[in-house]
Amino acid sequence: MLVVIQVLAALAGLVHVYIWVMESLRFADPKVHRWVFKVASADVGTVRDWAYNQGWYNLFLAVGALAGVAVVRWAPAVGWTLIVFSCTAMLAAALVLISTNRAMLAAALKQGVLPALSLAFALTQL
């Protein structure tokens, strides 16, 4: 069961690395800002700094989850703390997203399902 938690946390981290790439590195690409984030080309300049900053938040959460997975065997308390904290923050962000705009359900599910599953399995280990 512990391996399942780690795999889910690692996958959640990788999803958030991908979100960072879209928000911080590729946001100006119309395939990203128009199709993924539903931002009109005329508005990219206005929201680009926001997207760049938001992307880094996602990267930091990803690093926490991935670092937790990487160190959990050698430093269990540190590893599990990083995994649980990062997955909780990812899930909370997904819940905030859906509570802000119901039309963002698909995006919230993409960013929230894997950390939610990781946390659900982790709770069974208590």
Instruction: Give the per-residue pLDDT at 1.
Output: 74
State the virtual CA torsion across 58, 62, 64, 68 in degrees, nearest 10.
160
Residue 43 lies in domain: 2-123
Q: How many domains does the chain have?
A: 1
* Contact present, 121 and 4 (Cβ < 8 Å): yes
Q: How many Cα atoms sit within 13 Å of 77 on the Cβ side? A: 0
Instruction: Give the per-residue pLDDT at 89.
Output: 98
Instruction: Give the per-residue pLDDT at 97.
Output: 94
pLDDT along the chain (126 residues), means of 10: 94 98 97 93 96 97 98 96 98 96 93 98 87
Instruction: Give the per-residue pLDDT at 125.
Output: 85
Instruction: Give the per-residue pLDDT at 7.
Output: 98
38: left (phi over 0), alpha (psi -120 to 50) or beta: left
59: left (phi over 0), alpha (psi -120 to 50) or beta: alpha
